Chain A
Amino acid sequence: MSWWRWFSVYGPTYLDGLAATGVIAAAAAVCAVIWGALLLLVRLELGRAGARAVDAYVQVFRNTPVLLWIYLIYFAFPLVGLTWPAVVCGGLALMLQNGAYISEIFRGSVKAIDLVQFDAARSIGLSSWATFRKVVLPQVLVHSLPALGNQIILLLKDTSLLSAISVAELTMNAKLLTEQTGAAYEAFVIVAVLYLFLVAILELGVKWARHAVSWRPPHHAL
């Protein structure tokens, strides 16, 4: 089938999948960053026990494939009464997994904050919550932007695993199209290009963020 006809017939299917993937990835990424920040907070504020707990959590999610968690939450949780929609199950698994990695990224960035700043914060009377909010978090976010961008790209690619639990995202649509038309190469090459496109958008976003946080006043203003 000619490419043009392919696009006109199956274009809408691809666009639906693209939109679904984008939305799920965006939502899961936001939740993962928040969750990673929360884990960081636990590590910083709850002493040795907190740090150990977060370490254990990270170990669990580093050593297991995210597909395992997707299956567990989707298929096994209903057995104990927790039946959530497929998108929520998948998003939750992605959030838990990537939150672990993001908290590790944040941990590295915290080390870059000079200890002097914590003393300074305490000396002007900032509570630990205020220190976290106003001193730690902004600097950590800025420092970890490249690594965060990388992790979110990985998260985007992991959304393809949600096709295993019947979520109508891009990879699922490619599978359905392959079944319908038998044109496996066309279907999957287009999907690969679409993922590249999404990643390109993400990279633009990261670049914009880096520019936004590293604004320097122009020479003539000083």
Chain B
Amino acid sequence: MGKRRLVPVMFGLACMLSLLVAAGTARAEDKSRLETVLQRGKLVVATFSTAPPFCYTDDKGQLVGFDVDIARLLAKALFKDPSKVEFVVVTAEGRWPAIESGRVDMGIATTTIYPDRAIRVAFTRPYVDSGVSVLVKKGLGTKSLADLNQDKYTIANLNNPQMADRAKKFIPKTKTLTFDTPAAQVLAVRSGRAQAAQLDTPVADWYAATNKDEFEVIPELMGYSQNNAIFLKHGDFVWWHWLDTAVGEMRTGSYYGDYSEIYQKWFGKNPPPQKFYIR
């Protein structure tokens, strides 16, 4: 690189580094995001687009799903109008920068609560139970995770470290492939690149139910029951508190009716009871 090229390249580097510094500096926000959202009149939400039945695009290209409807319910609570939501579709690793940069107010994207994630984003209480199941090609003959734990099989993971850890723990001999959307994972199984895919239980069940002769789900869960929750940026107590209150009321209080409707619509059954002592 001659001297004449050095200046523009250095300039470009300097621009990038200054962007980094500017982004890293704490921007003191006096007012809570709740106020910003109320003033804006619209809720901006990060979500996926290929994780049915939580968030996916239907045949008409509309973003639909359980998570989508929950976000609309939140908008209804804020503005009395469920249509006042703007969805920002992200990929698996893109959901965190979307939150941290402040581009979105919150994320609801079939995201499971893990303590190491909670270091960087805040979670509300869970809005739905989840777990991790393994979707396999029908006719593979694997009835359990032990059957899948062989060198000749490949499993498609999402690019988060929890998936890699789980695969190492339960099926260490199986080879792994890493993709950035659930759709790519399922496509890998469909095309024979992998024989199995690690997905959230409701997502795996949905794919198996809508493609009965292609997929099936291994009945054994990879681990235990887990919690999916709304995630938002750390440090904003008022916003977190409102969201957490809203989710709490959805599951156990005043919004249980609306919540049950959405739950019935997407899972075909009633949600867990409001309180253990209520039949």
A interface, CB within 8 angstroms of B: 74-76, 78-79, 83, 86, 163-166, 172, 175-176, 178-182, 184-186, 189, 192-193, 196, 200, 203-204
Assembly CA distance A176 to B19 (angstroms): 22
Cα distance A182–B180 when bound, in Å?
Answer: 15
B20 touches A186 (CB 8 A): yes
B151-195 toward A: CB 8 Å interface, digit per residue (1/0)?
000000001110000000000000001111000100110111100
Most buried by A among B92, B96, B120, B178: B178
Contact B193 A184 (CB under 8 A): no
With both beta carbons as reference points, the residue of chain B lying nearest to A89 in the complex is identified as B193
CA distance A204 to B92 in the complex (A): 37
Q: How many residue pairs, one in A and one in B, have C-beta atoms under 8 Å apart?
A: 77
Residues of chain B with a CB closer than 8 A to A164's CB: 179-180, 184
Binds A, one of B9-17, B27-35, B271-279: B9-17
- Chain A CB within 8 A of B7 CB: no
- Tell me if B93 and A178 are in contact (CB < 8 A): yes
Across the interface, do A75 and B159 meet the contact criterion of CB distance under 8 Å?
no
A3 CB, min distance to chain B CBs, angstroms: 10
Nearest Cβ on chain A to B242's Cβ, whole angstroms: 23
A65 to B240: give the CA distance in the assembly, Å.
42
Q: With A and B bound together, what is the CA distance between A204 and B192 in angstroms?
A: 42
Which residues of B are found within 8 Å of A196, using beta-carbon distances?
9, 12-13
Decide yes or no: A189 and B16 within 8 Å by CB, A178-B96, A180-B161 being known contacts: yes
Bound-state Cα–Cα, A98 to B16, Å: 29
A76 to B92, CA, bound (A): 23
Instruction: Please list the residues of chain B having a beta carbon within 8 angstroms of any beta carbon in chain A.
Output: 1, 5, 9, 12-13, 16-17, 19-20, 23-24, 92-93, 96-97, 100-101, 117, 119-121, 159-161, 177-180, 184, 187-188, 190-193
Question: What are 11 A-B pairs with beta-carbon distances under 8 A?
Answer: A74-B193, A75-B187, A76-B191, A164-B180, A172-B178, A176-B159, A178-B96, A184-B96, A184-B101, A189-B17, A204-B1
User: Would you call B191 and A175 a contact (CB within 8 A)?
Assistant: no
* Given A179-B159, A200-B1, residue A75 in contact with residue B191 (CB < 8 A): yes
Residues of B within 8 A of A203 (CB): 1, 5
Tell me whether A179 and B191 are in contact (CB under 8 A).
Answer: no
**With A79-B191, A184-B100 as given contacts, are A179 and B20 in contact (CB-CB < 8 Å)?**
no
Known interface pairs A179-B96, A196-B13; 12 further A-B residue pairs with C-beta atoms within 8 A, sorted by A's residue number: A78-B191, A78-B193, A166-B177, A166-B178, A166-B179, A172-B178, A176-B159, A179-B161, A182-B119, A185-B20, A189-B19, A193-B16
A193 touches B121 (CB 8 A): no
Q: Determine which of B101, B179, B193 lies in contact with A83 in the assembled complex, contact meaning CB atoms within 8 Å.
A: B193
Which one of A78, A86, A175 has the greatest number of beta carbons of chain B within 10 Å?
A: A175
Measured in the bound complex, the distance between the Cα atoms of B183 and A164 in whole Å is 12
**In the complex, which residue of chain B has the Cβ closest to the Cβ of A79?**
B191
Which residues of chain B are within 8 angstroms of A178 by Cβ–Cβ distance?
93, 96-97
Chain B residues positioned under 8 Å from A179 (CB to CB): 92-93, 96, 159-161
Q: What is the bound-complex CA distance between A134 and B235, given in angstroms?
A: 70
A74 to B159, CA, bound (A): 18
> Which of chain B's residues have a CB closer than 8 A to the CB of A189?
16-17, 19-20
**Given A75-B193, A182-B121: A175 touches B180 (CB 8 Å cut-off):** yes
Given A179-B92, A179-B160: A79 and B20 within 8 A (CB)? no
Give the complex CA separation of A175 and B161 in angstroms.
11
Residues from chain A with a CB closer than 8 A to the CB of B179 are 164-166
B96: min CB distance to chain A, Å: 5
**Nearest 8 A-B pairs (CB), nearest first?**
A182-B120, A184-B97, A166-B177, A75-B191, A175-B93, A78-B192, A178-B93, A179-B160
| Docked CA distance A180–B92 (Å) | 11
Question: Nearest chain-B residue to A175 (Cβ)?
Answer: B93
CB–CB B193/A176 < 8 A: no
Q: Which residues of A contact B100 (CB under 8 A)?
A: 182, 184
CB <8 Å contact, B96 and A185: no
B90, chain A: closest CB distance, angstroms? 11
Bound-complex Cα distance A161 to B158 (A): 17
Which residues of chain B come closer than 8 Å to A176, judged between CB atoms? Answer: 93, 159, 161, 178
Task: Report A174 CB to chain B, min CB distance, Å.
Answer: 9
Q: How far is the CA of A186 from the CA of B100 in the complex (A)?
A: 13
The CA of A203 and the CA of B9, in the complex, are separated in Å by: 13
